[in-house]
Structure 1
Amino acid sequence: MLISVAGGIAIMKIGQMWSRMSENAKSIIKILSLYLGTTGIFLCVFFWFSYAKEVRHLVAQQVSELREISLEVYEILHNNKDDVKAGLAQIQSEISTPLRIYNKKSVVIYDTLQVELTQSEIEEGFAMRGDYVIIEPSMHEKIPKAHKSKKNLVSKYRDNARYKIFIQDTSLESQMFFLRLKMIAYFLLSLFGVGVVAYFLVKLSLKPMQQRINALNAFIKDSTHEINTPLSIILMSIETLPLDNLTPAQSQKIERIKLASKSLSHIYKILVAYNFPHSINHKCENLALHILLQERLEYFSPFFEQKALQLQSTITPSYIFASAEKMSCVLDNLLSNAIKYNKKGGEIDISLKEGVLSISDSGCGMADSDKERIFERYVRCNDYQGGFGIGLTLIKRICDEYGINIEVQSEQGKGSCFTLIWKQEGRK
């Protein structure tokens, strides 16, 4: 008996440790998410500034190329200064780059630009339209090294202000497109690299914890098997024990042993159902739930008497297509919770009708925040009542399997009500 009790307590402590370790794993995942998120933001900022720098470089490079075209235009105009029409005709035949030429009266004398410029852009000599650069090169001081000899020519026309030549680039758009692709590829590659490194770091940090969890899992399963033999012997011995010649005090002790043994038996069934679901009979049948409920109430009757609980029940024939062993597990856990969380001398109200089972108690109840988490593994509403925190998780798993809807109504200090609703199959 003591071995079984110690085993049950040990398993409960292990379950609590496992729960805490799961919380630690969740914390690590949150930290990892925060790390990847902040790294992603840093990479975004870094690549944005890199992109802006590359854009400025491309624009400066394109402006330099446009200056070269501008020098050609100036040279043609200079060579045809006495015949402007011939010069413009030569520009049209030799230069395919879109450009616009203003005379000294700011009148357009040649235009293939097809882009409107504001007055401020004309005065500044620079404009951008999307990824296009439009520039008046003579208004900018830098002259390509290869054309330093023509500086005087450019200065002459700039000083005399005979012409303003605005030239549009033809290749910057494609260069900007490929620059964006390159930056996006580098960003994704960097983020992927950081993600891979972070994954292995988290995996490395979780490895000792995972090994410990696996060891605890194995211990729980092995302990569950070990509990079965002494528990079966205790229950069998109590059932066959002659009670005729016992004193009232001895009978009371035997009754307590019987209750404790039944409690351990219930704990054992929960552990088996949770850790070894394959060992439960999965065969479904058109189950008479009202008969099964009466059997389970008879099983728990000593617990009702021990706690002086008043039982009120309204049970009408009801059927469900499910496994008898699994539904017995559901009923046992609901009844066990109604007893454990109830006050001494409290009430339990049970109602069963077609497709609906309701079990309510007058116990401690729970807060609204707890109601949202009660079906999670190892979650308990308080530390002084209850077991492992897996009973309701097991109920939820079975109910989901059979399409049973669970409704929970509870008010702290006033009790709880669990209602199961399913589609009535009818008796076959």
Structure 2
Amino acid sequence: MFRSLRINIFIYYFSTIIGFLLLAYYFLNVLHVENLYLFAVIVLCFVILSGIFISKLAVDPLAEYVHDLQNLSKETLHELNLPISTITTTTQLLSKNSDDEKTLKRIGRIDSACMMLKERYNELDYLIRMQTNQNIKEAFFVDKLVEQRVAFVKQIYPQMNFSLFLEEMQIFGDKKGLSKVIDNIIDNGVKYSQSSKNIDIEVQNSSITIKDYGIGMDEVELIRIFDNYYQSNKNMQGFGIGLNLVKRFCERNNIELIFESSKNIGTTVELKFKEQTGK
């Protein structure tokens, strides 16, 4: 598709240049037009018409492709909802009707995997709504959201101890995007806390504070943490793009992002909401 599109654009562009040269030759050498103002107006109209046609030739196929891809994503998303709901309902029924410890553990693993699948479902729905410029902001309680995210992360990292101090805080904003930001910061805290199993999370004074007691960073590393593909520890899994995404989200949503870190002491991340919040 894109190869033929490039060829068509090149052919049209080449034909437009030839047409422009022939038009100039015809007006100047055949008709002997001496009114340069009239000639400039004709050339301008020719250039505008050519620009309109070449933009349609370039953009319309891509717009149609993106539209079809969005429709396919929406249909796939809709179809995914049914098996996810079926698995969740079935595991709940099996848990109620079973007393065997091994069976309950297996059901728990299925339920955890289903929850992760549902998270991917929610993320895909979030991306589709962002790309189609749908309203993704809503009123929600930040303290409740933090509790939900910690409960989810604890299923992945059951060895971690989370100390929570949560004051009630309600905002109007991008709930799904903030969920991804919280998950990312907590995940980084877990990865870089090999010698400590404790993470403190506070919601108070219109801010979220997440503190780990891991390996920490020096001043040079703090400067580079928002660079794409940068990782302070190359042995850690990941692609080094998470904090860059966190920074972009905070900039788009008027949230001040503050990092404090010391080597072998730990890292504190604060998300300070600049817009008015209410309890």
1:319 to 162, 169, 174: 169
Establish whether residue 358 from structure 1 lines up as the match of residue 209 from structure 2. Answer: yes
2:191 aligned residue: 343
- Partner AA of 2:64 in structure 1: Q
Establish whether residue 237 from structure 1 lines up as the match of residue 87 from structure 2. Answer: no
Alpha-carbon distance between aligned partners in 1 of 2:40 and 2:162, rounded to the nearest angstrom: 67
2:74 aligned residue: 221
Q: How does 1:156-171 map to 2 (within 5 A)?
A: none
For the Cα contact (< 8 Å) 1:273–1:279, is it kept in 2? no
Q: Offset at 1:418?
A: 6.3
Alpha-carbon distance between aligned partners in 2 of 1:194 and 1:345, rounded to the nearest angstrom: 62
Q: Offset at 1:258?
A: 2.0
1:272 to 125, 128, 131: 125
Q: Offset at 1:425?
A: 3.8
Change (3 A) 1:425 1:344: closer
For the Cα contact (< 8 Å) 1:316–1:354, is it kept in 2? no
Q: Offset at 1:339?
A: 5.3
Alpha-carbon distance between aligned partners in 2 of 1:349 and 1:185, rounded to the nearest angstrom: 74
The 10-residue stretch of structure 1 (224-233 or 257-266) with the greater mean CA deviation from structure 2: 257-266
Establish whether residue 370 from structure 1 lines up as the match of residue 228 from structure 2. Answer: yes
For the Cα contact (< 8 Å) 2:186–2:210, is it kept in 1? no
Change (3 A) 1:280 1:206: closer
Establish whether residue 194 from structure 1 lines up as the match of residue 47 from structure 2. Answer: yes
The 10-residue stretch of structure 1 (260-269 or 332-341) with the greater mean CA deviation from structure 2: 332-341
Offset from partner CA, 1:317-364 (integer Å, 9 cap, x none): 1423427xx53x244312332355552865755332111123467799
Q: Offset at 1:263?
A: 1.0
1:11 aligned residue: none
Q: How does 1:44-55 map to 2 (within 5 A)?
A: none
Q: Which has the larger radius of gyration?
A: 1
Give the secondary structure class of the aligned counterpart of 1:194.
Answer: helix
For the Cα contact (< 8 Å) 2:163–2:201, is it kept in 1? yes
Q: Offset at 1:224?
A: 0.6
2:116 to 263, 273, 279: 263
Q: Offset at 1:237?
A: 1.9
Alpha-carbon distance between aligned partners in 2 of 1:279 and 1:199, rounded to the nearest angstrom: 29
Offset from partner CA, 1:247-279 (integer Å, 9 cap, x none): 2xx554433322221111112122223434799
- Partner AA of 1:264 in structure 2: L
Alpha-carbon distance between aligned partners in 2 of 1:204 and 1:370, rounded to the nearest angstrom: 34
Change (3 A) 1:216 1:359: farther
Offset from partner CA, 1:57-85 (integer Å, 9 cap, x none): xxxxxxxxxxxxxxxxxxxxxxxxxxxxx
For the Cα contact (< 8 Å) 1:290–1:318, is it kept in 2? yes
Alpha-carbon distance between aligned partners in 2 of 1:228 and 1:234, rounded to the nearest angstrom: 10
For the Cα contact (< 8 Å) 1:405–1:421, is it kept in 2? yes
Alpha-carbon distance between aligned partners in 2 of 1:298 and 1:240, rounded to the nearest angstrom: 22
Q: TM-score, normalised by structure 1?
A: 0.41
Q: TM-score, normalised by structure 2?
A: 0.59
Give the secondary structure class of the aligned counterpart of 1:244.
Answer: coil
Change (3 A) 1:370 1:257: same
Alpha-carbon distance between aligned partners in 1 of 2:136 and 2:58, rounded to the nearest angstrom: 40
Q: Offset at 1:410?
A: 9.9
Change (3 A) 1:404 1:239: farther
Aligned residues: 230
Give the secondary structure class of the aligned counterpart of 1:241.
Answer: helix
Percent of aligned pairs with the same residue?
A: 19
RMSD: 5.0
For the Cα contact (< 8 Å) 2:142–2:171, is it kept in 1? no
1:159 aligned residue: none
For the Cα contact (< 8 Å) 1:224–1:272, is it kept in 2? yes
Give unpaired runs (5+ residues) of structure 1: 1-20, 51-178, 372-383
- Partner AA of 1:255 in structure 2: G
Q: Offset at 1:221?
A: 0.6
1:405 to 243, 255, 264: 255
Q: Offset at 1:211?
A: 2.3
Establish whether residue 296 from structure 1 lines up as the match of residue 146 from structure 2. Answer: no
Q: Offset at 1:415?
A: 8.1
1:116 aligned residue: none
For the Cα contact (< 8 Å) 2:169–2:204, is it kept in 1? no
- Partner AA of 1:209 in structure 2: L
For the Cα contact (< 8 Å) 1:409–1:416, is it kept in 2? yes
